[in-house]
Structure 1
Amino acid sequence: MSFSGELYASHTIGEPQGPQDNRRIRWQHGVITAVEDAGTAPAGTRRTLVMPALANAHDHARPLPMSSFGTAFLPLEAWLPRTILATPPDAYKAAVAPLARAALSGCGAVMVHYTRPSGKLDPIDEAREVARAARDVGLRIAFAPAIRDRNPLVYGDETALLGKLPADIAALLRDTYCRPPLSPARLIETTEQIAEAIQGPMVDVQFGPAGVQWCSDELLRAIARRSAETGRRVHMHLLETPYQRRWADLTFPQGIVTYLKEIGLLSPRLTLAHCVHARPHELDMIAAAGCRIVTNSGSNLHLRSGLGPIADAWQRGCSLAVGVDGQAFDEDDDMIREIRLANALHGGKGFAQAWSRPEFLLQSTAHGRQAIGMPGTGKIAVGEPADFLQLDYDRLDLDRIIAVEPVDLFFARATAQHVLQVIVAGKTIVTHGNLPGVDLQAAENQLRSSYRQSMQDHAALTRDWPRIEAALAEWNAAFIGCC
Structure 2
Amino acid sequence: MSAQIITARWIVTGTDDDGQTRTLDDAALVHDAGAILAVGPADEIRQAYPQAQVTSYPRHLIMPGLVNAHHHIGLTPLQMGAPDSPLEHWFAARLAMRKIDPYLDTLYSAFEMIASGVTTVQHIQGWAVGNIDAVTGSAEEVLRAYDDIGMRVSYCYSVREQNRFVYEADEAFCNRLPPEVGRAMAAHLARVTMPFDDFMALFDRLMETRRSARARIQLAPANLHWMTDDGLLAMQEKSAAAGVPMHMHLLETAYQKEYAFRRTGTTAVRHLERLGLLGPHMTLGHGVWMTEEDVEICAGTGTCICHNCSSNLRLRSGVLPLMALVQRGMTVGLGIDEAGINDDRDMLQEMRMALNLHRFPGMDPADVPSPGQILRMATEHGARTTAFGAEIGRLEPGRRLDAVVFDYDRATYPYQDPDIAPADALIHRAKSKDVHQVIVEGEVILEDGRFIRIDRDAVLTRIAEALSQPRDEDEVNRHSLRDAVFPTVKAFYDGYLRKTADRTPFYKTSSRR
- Gaps spanning 5+ residues in structure 1: where? none
Q: Does 1:243 align with 2:255?
A: yes
Counting matched residue pairs gives 476
Q: Which moved more, 1:429-438 or 1:73-82?
A: 73-82
1:35 match = 39
Question: Does the 8 A contact of 1:112 with 1:142 survive in 2?
Answer: yes
1:188 match = 200
1:422 match = 438
Question: Does the 8 A contact of 1:103 with 1:137 survive in 2?
Answer: no
Q: Rate the CA distance shift 1:3–1:115 in 2: closer, same or farther, 3 A.
A: farther
The match for 1:107 among 99, 107, 118 is 118
1: distance between equivalents of 2:199 and 2:326? Answer: 34
The match for 1:156 among 168, 185, 207 is 168
Q: Rate the CA distance shift 1:204–1:157 in 2: closer, same or farther, 3 A.
A: same
**1:16-165 matched pairs, under 5 angstroms:** 18-38=22-42, 47-60=59-72, 62-86=73-97, 88-117=99-128, 119=130, 122-158=134-170, 161-162=173-174, 165=177
1:462 match = 479
1:365 match = 379
- State the Cα distance separating 1:84 from its structure 2 match: 4.2
Q: Rate the CA distance shift 1:349–1:9 in 2: closer, same or farther, 3 A.
A: farther
1: distance between equivalents of 2:102 and 2:76? Answer: 16
1: distance between equivalents of 2:63 and 2:376? Answer: 9
Q: Rate the CA distance shift 1:393–1:12 in 2: closer, same or farther, 3 A.
A: same
- State the Cα distance separating 1:343 from its structure 2 match: 1.4
Which letter does structure 1 place at the counterpart of 2:112? R
Question: Does the 8 A contact of 1:152 with 1:178 survive in 2?
Answer: no
Q: Which moved more, 1:83-92 or 1:235-244?
A: 83-92
Deviations 1:258-311 (A, max 9, x none): 221222211221111000111111111111111210001111111111112121
Deviations 1:380-433 (A, max 9, x none): 222321111111111211121522322332232222222110111111111111
Question: Does the 8 A contact of 1:101 with 1:333 survive in 2?
Answer: yes
Deviations 1:312-333 (A, max 9, x none): 1222232100011121111221
Q: SS in structure 2 opposite 1:453? A: coil
1: distance between equivalents of 2:228 and 2:353? Answer: 35
Q: Rate the CA distance shift 1:459–1:88 in 2: closer, same or farther, 3 A.
A: closer
2:13 match = 14
2: distance between equivalents of 1:347 and 1:317? Answer: 19
Provide the TM-score with structure 1 as the length reference. Answer: 0.91
Question: Does the 8 A contact of 1:392 with 1:418 survive in 2?
Answer: yes
2: distance between equivalents of 1:452 and 1:79? Answer: 24
Which letter does structure 2 place at the counterpart of 1:448? A
Question: Does the 8 A contact of 1:46 with 1:394 survive in 2?
Answer: no
Q: Does 1:259 align with 2:271?
A: yes
Question: Does the 8 A contact of 1:237 with 1:272 survive in 2?
Answer: yes
Question: Does the 8 A contact of 2:404 with 2:435 survive in 1?
Answer: yes
Deviations 1:427-465 (A, max 9, x none): 111111111111223223322332343623322332453
Q: SS in structure 2 opposite 1:195? A: helix
- State the Cα distance separating 1:72 from its structure 2 match: 2.1
2: distance between equivalents of 1:130 and 1:196? Answer: 16
Q: Which moved more, 1:110-119 or 1:422-431?
A: 110-119
Q: Which moved more, 1:416-425 or 1:380-389?
A: 380-389
Q: Rate the CA distance shift 1:330–1:167 in 2: closer, same or farther, 3 A.
A: same
Which letter does structure 2 place at the counterpart of 1:441? D
Question: Does the 8 A contact of 2:147 with 2:212 survive in 1?
Answer: no
Question: Does the 8 A contact of 1:100 with 1:438 survive in 2?
Answer: no
Q: Rate the CA distance shift 1:94–1:363 in 2: closer, same or farther, 3 A.
A: closer
Q: Rate the CA distance shift 1:201–1:456 in 2: closer, same or farther, 3 A.
A: closer
Q: Does 1:308 align with 2:320?
A: yes
Question: Does the 8 A contact of 2:222 with 2:248 survive in 1?
Answer: yes
Deviations 1:3-43 (A, max 9, x none): 8533332223225782222222221111122323347xxxx
Question: RMSD of aligned C-alpha atoms?
Answer: 2.5
Deviations 1:127-161 (A, max 9, x none): 22222111111111111011111002110145665
2:244 match = 232
Deviations 1:205-247 (A, max 9, x none): 1111111110112211111122223322111100111111110
Q: Does 1:172 align with 2:184?
A: yes
Question: Does the 8 A contact of 1:87 with 1:117 survive in 2?
Answer: no
Q: Which moved more, 1:288-297 or 1:122-131?
A: 122-131
2: distance between equivalents of 1:323 and 1:253? Answer: 30
Sequence identity (%): 27
2: distance between equivalents of 1:294 and 1:180? Answer: 26
1: distance between equivalents of 2:86 and 2:248? Answer: 19
- State the Cα distance separating 1:85 from its structure 2 match: 4.1
Q: SS in structure 1 opposite 2:376? A: helix
- Gaps spanning 5+ residues in structure 2: where? 44-55, 500-513
1: distance between equivalents of 2:456 and 2:32? Answer: 29
2:224 match = 212
Provide the TM-score with structure 2 as the length reference. Answer: 0.86
Deviations 1:156-212 (A, max 9, x none): 145665455443333322221255843333321221222111165322111111111
Question: Does the 8 A contact of 1:124 with 1:190 survive in 2?
Answer: yes
